[in-house]
Structure 1
Amino acid sequence: MTDAMTRLARLRRPSLLIRAARIGLADYNRDRDLKRLTKSPTPPSPRAAFERLFAEETRMDEDRRTGRAGYSPTRHVDVLIALLAEARLAPRVIRHPGA
């Protein structure tokens, strides 16, 4: 398994989405935003949050690509902001030789 930053680097998203998410990082408040995005009373660990957000973002990108009516660009940017922020917090997975 690769670390969070490597997984993010492999994402191919429109530059406008990524730029908006990077700008939004300055206002990210983990306690407030993560509770809202994950609909949980307390924020999960950075690693758990990353995995959950990564799955959500992947689903949202598929909705974007297929033109699904329920797709929300605003929510997509919000999830990307949280994903970028949580990737910075998530511990890196160390790959051992031969693993």
Structure 2
Amino acid sequence: MLDLLGMIATLDRPRLLVSAARYGVDGYDRAKHLPRLIGGPVAPRVGEAIVKLLDLEAMLESKRQAKSADYTHLSHVSVLIALLGEARALRAANRPALVAA
């Protein structure tokens, strides 16, 4: 089975891109942002979304490194924000619920 959180953790990206994504993750709304980023009328399940976002991010990273004319930092940061938001959702789903006594 894929360790999706581990795959996200091993991404080595420029500090400025990661800082911008961390700054924006609190405003991430998966229902609003995810369909726009990966296509489709509704957001897929968290695991599927992470896999698609990782593929999209890898493509953007290739374009960034190649200094491609169609690369934009805004797109890259948006995908990184979504990855961080989805990782947060995955961790929350796997965390045992706390019961108040």
Which amino acid is the alignment partner of residue 83 of structure 1? L
Q: CA RMSD in A?
A: 1.4
Detail structure 1 runs of 4+ shifted over 2 Å in the superposition.
Answer: 88-92
Counterpart for residue 35 of structure 1: 35
Identity of aligned residues (%): 39
Q: Distance in 2 between matches of 1:64 and 1:44?
A: 27
- Provide the aligned length of Structure 1 versus Structure 2: 92
Q: Kindly state the Cα deviation for residue 88 of structure 1 after the two structures are TM-superposed.
A: 2.2
| TM-score using structure 1 length | 0.86
Counterpart for residue 9 of structure 2: 9
| TM-score using structure 2 length | 0.85
Residues 4 and 88 of structure 1: is their aligned pair in 2 closer, same or farther, counting only changes over 3 Å?
Answer: farther
Q: Distance in 1 between matches of 2:6 and 2:52?
A: 16
Q: Distance in 2 between matches of 1:65 and 1:29?
A: 29
Query: Tell me, which stretches of 5 or more residues in structure 2 are unaligned?
Result: 95-101
Query: Tell me, which stretches of 5 or more residues in structure 1 are unaligned?
Result: 93-99
